[in-house]
Amino acid sequence: MKIHRMEQGSDEWKAVRKGKLTASNATAIGNNGAGLKTYIKKIILNLVAEQPFKGSKDTERGHELEPIARLKYELETGETVDEVGFLEHCPFSGCSPDGLILGKKKGLEIKCRNDEKHLDILMTGKIASSTIWQMNMCMLVTGFESWVFVAYNPNFKQSLFTKEYQRDEAKIEKLKKGLENGIELLKESLDNEAVKKELNGQV
């Protein structure tokens, strides 16, 4: 694992993760089917004709509230969270964790959901399957044994919800196979003559 330290969302961060399979698409990687092939096409498309990032109210909320959630987690747990930009698993894959607690070998996945979703989390304690896949891919990259899901919404008295998850070896194995297949598909696409001409600036 190679640690890249930069601000997430910066041009440097975008450059280091470009052309790589990342944990934000761990569900497609783990399921290792049609969704993975579609994901590889998106990676190639972004290499040859960079696609503008389309934000939403949810992503804007996350950018605004995530630092507060991280600080509140530190205050309530006494743990120190290390911020990193990108963790490179290999030249073709990696992840961007929301924080690492290096002394305890675990990480954070922070979600700042809207009021309806935050209430659902408080009432049920359940989180999306895609988030569980994402955390497991982060554990695969880091080798850590656990990952903490953190939900934060300042509109609630229970503004901070945390739940620690242990690595799921069955999912880890599926992710390994998905990454192996995805990287092979990516290499094949990069070897395509049309793609090579686009990347090399040939006409």
Condensed to tens digits (0 to 9), the pLDDT of residues 13-62 reads 999 999 999 999 999 999 999 999 999 999 999 999 987 766 567 667 77
Q: What confidence score (pLDDT) does residue 201 get?
A: 75
Q: What confidence score (pLDDT) does residue 82 get?
A: 96
pTM: 0.93
Q: If you average pLDDT over residues 3-9, what whole number do you get? A: 94
Q: What confidence score (pLDDT) does residue 159 get?
A: 97
Q: Which residues pair with 157 in a beta bridge?
A: none
- Looking at residue 74, which CATH number applies to its domain? 3.90.320.10
Split into its structural domains, the chain has a count of 1
Distance of CA 20 to the CA centre of its chain: 12
Q: If you average pLDDT over residues 116-138, what whole number do you get? A: 97
The whole domain housing 181 covers 2-200
